[in-house]
Amino acid sequence: MDHIDEHEQGERVRAWLKKNGSSLITGVALGLAALSGWNWWQAQGEVRKVEAAAEFLAFTRASEAGETAKAAAHAQALRQNHGETVYNALVALVDSRRLLDEGKGEESLAVLDGVAVEGLDASMAELLSLRAARVLVTLGRHEDALKRLEGRDFAAYAGVAAELRGDASLALGRREEAREAYEAALAALDLAAATRGMVELKFTEAGGRLPETPEA
């Protein structure tokens, strides 16, 4: 079931890291040192993971404080030095959202496309593809959006993916395809989902009929 969309998912991750990031990084450092000694702590892979987490935490704090220049510097450092990590993907999601809100859709898409998905877990790769599809819909590139959604399961975000397919199809005048996509989105969404009302509205706009609510 899709209880939250991909934006809400990203916001929850950011909020948790903002609250717990410092203690998490310190705990990892102390745990590694205590468990395996300083030589193991010096191992490049583990050091890089902690460095990436610290950079992401600094980026998040700068973003929340409205310190755009600092946030951009931390984002650039993550892209250059830790491009293979999940932290770089999270920064890309935040940056793409900001750029899209500023009306810079093409730049938003470029940020997402710049993330190397090799090595990322499936749900994060799906999240990046969904955000790219959403940006493409916003830009009016509906066929491109549908291509981004082809051939992927989107198991973690089935409702979001189906809704995006519906949006792109409806914009292209393919009402039957849109209706089927919105119906699939509704089937994936929890009855209490915050986005359900909007998807129901889109479904009826595409010619769908909601089941009648029984009278009390």
How confident is the model over 44-54, as pLDDT tens digits? 466 677 888 88
Taking the whole predicted model, whether its pTM rises above 0.85 is answered as no
Residues 168, 146 contacting (CB under 8 angstroms):
yes
Q: In the structure, what pLDDT confidence band is assigned to residue 33 with cuts at 50, 70 and 90? A: very low
Please list the residues that pair with 2 across neighbouring strands: 189
* CA–CA distances in Å: residue 139 to residues 7, 105, 142, 169: 18, 6, 8, 14
- Residues 93 and 101: their CA atoms lie apart, in Å, by 12
Owner of token pair 């932290």:
87
Most confident of 35-49, 60-74, 85-99, 189-203: 189-203
Alpha carbon of residue 19 to chain centroid: 20
Residues 130, 161 contacting (CB under 8 angstroms):
yes
pLDDT of 205 higher than 80: yes
- Residues 34 and 96: their CA atoms lie apart, in Å, by 39
Residues 96, 63 contacting (CB under 8 angstroms):
no
Give the distance between the most distant pair of CA atoms in the chain: 71
